[in-house]
Structure 1
């Protein structure tokens, strides 16, 4: 569905250098702290910025060669972007209908109902959460094959995030040929949604892993000074000095549980992996 190879964009004090792939039928997550390069990556894919070098392919074509029909197959939610605030939901229906040949008014109205989005009210009166949900409803309403969602859950409470994520799961179940690239600073959202995850830091991809493997094989070892000195460090990925000794990240948690039964060993979530990958040191 999407291939990015050695895509570079230089802003002077920041440089993007990104290689990633979104296979057909998969949900791929892009994670990283604010300013890591997530939005720049999305803008490069959508041709909102010129790249300095590298290759981007969408639907098997260079992204610069996509036709209007190709673009209509993409549902896009950009962080910070929005319809004009003087518009109402009903006015957005007319705009969407004129832009997309496959726009489904019935689906849009149904989604707005599910997400408690008032069609008669102007957007300027919406909360930040309502605005976020409106963008997703629009992206899901024109038979897109590929969703590109930059922080779609930003500003949503726990219940609203769950509703939105369920809609994305339903979207994928409707057609096996669909794919999603999604970013979020809320790691828990992506743990239960994505097939694989890329981590970006300072513009570079520093980790790529299947979500199931990350959640089942990765872990944190909490070792005091003596335990760390005697520890087999063959399968440690990152180490961080702590007040009690060392925190160590591994992708072979079973090995350490079997061989160090007296050590504190915890399964790691995505937040732990982000923190250790960025703050920890290589062995």
Structure 2
């Protein structure tokens, strides 16, 4: 196990998080949920960047935070609200990275900057949002960390730049013993990269599922009130009342395809799951 949160609790005013989740070796794990659900809080708790109110944090087999120097060198981090000073250039950042991380791969990092159009001599504050996002990911990948913690790493990137970053993450995972914990609002990124996902809503983990299961077995049913009244609801996870009838989230799509051929059954997706669990109701 690379990292684990067990009943980790944190309260900010009216917001309360109680989170249990883990990152295993050889897996890319997604953390999904709407804004304010607790994704960044969970990441910061794992990294020891906030004081938790209870629960247990384990990183690479060791209990507790803050992380020691050795642990920090094994984690590549790209958080949405952190970066180097905007008054530095990437060349200046390189000198800092060489002093901070003995495993920093200078030549490879520079090559990747050229490849992804990250300028070396320009001040970071002059970068576009997308270029800053690329820089954070390249830095996280630059010193051979065993695990990556990436909060919205492709935010602000165009399609080409996003694919470049995703290819780097896939290449990173080719080496055994590594893992990635990632959040993103771009569902196609997660669906093409993640092995499993956790869904967090109002500070609680409401769903943990393999991505293959989500794409193969989850679905969205749409029907009028009469059809809804006759529906076997054994495999319905969430229901939303619409102006025209009902939308229902199921984890047994094939059951409804075979037994209710008249229903509209759409393929499940990360976006639909977040939407339905956030606004839907249990039966």
Aligned pair count reads 282
Tell me what 2:176 maps to: 176
Q: 2:210 aligned with 1:247, yes or no?
A: no
Alpha-carbon distance in 1 for matches of 2:116, 2:64? 32
**1:156 shift after superposition:** 1.1
Match of 1:261 in 2: 261
Structure 1 equivalent of residue 155 of structure 2: 154
1:41-80 to structure 2, matched below 5 A, reads 41-64=42-65, 66-80=67-81
**Aligned equivalents of 1:11, 1:120: Cα separation in 2:** 40
The aligned counterpart of 1:123 is: 124
C-alpha distance in 1, partners of 2:54/2:64?
13
Match of 1:3 in 2: 4
2:201 equivalent to 1:201: yes
RMSD: 1.0
Deviations 1:37-59 (A, max 9, x none): 11111111111111010001010
| Aligned position for 1:133 | 134
Distance 2:110 2:139 in 1: 10
User: Could you say what secondary structure the match of 1:192 adopts?
Assistant: helix
Counterpart for residue 18 of structure 1:
19
The equivalent of 2:277 in structure 1 is 277
The CA distance in 2 between the partners of 1:123 and 1:3, in whole Å, is 33
Describe the superposition over 1:174-208 as per-residue Cα deviations: whole angstroms up to 9, x where unpaired: x1110000011122211111000001111111111
Structure 1 position 3, deviation (Å)? 0.9
Matching residue of 1:104:
105
The gaps in structure 2 that reach 5 residues or longer are none
Q: Would the aligned equivalents of 1:45 and 1:63 in 2 still touch at CA under 8 Å?
A: no
1:201 and 1:231 map into 2 onto residues whose CA distance is 27
Maintained 8 Å contact 2:199/2:208: yes
For residues 64 and 179 of structure 2, the distance between their equivalents in structure 1, rounded to whole angstroms, comes to 16
User: Offset at 1:66?
Assistant: 3.8
1:85-132: per-residue Cα shift (whole Å, max 9, x none)? 111111111000000011110111111112110111111221111111
What is the SS of the residue equivalent to 1:64? Answer: coil
Deviations for 1:212-262, whole angstroms, at most 9, x for unmatched residues? 101110001111111111111111111111122111111001111111111
For 1:76 and 1:20, locate their aligned partners in 2 and report how far apart those are by CA, in whole Å. Answer: 18
Normalising by structure 2, report the TM-score: 0.97
SS in 2 for 1:185: coil
Please give the per-residue CA displacement for 1:52-90, whole angstroms capped at 9, x wherever unaligned: 100010100013264311210100111121111111111
SS of the equivalent of 1:233 reads: coil
Give the TM-score taking structure 1 as reference length.
0.97
In structure 1, the residue corresponding to 2:43 is in which secondary structure?
helix
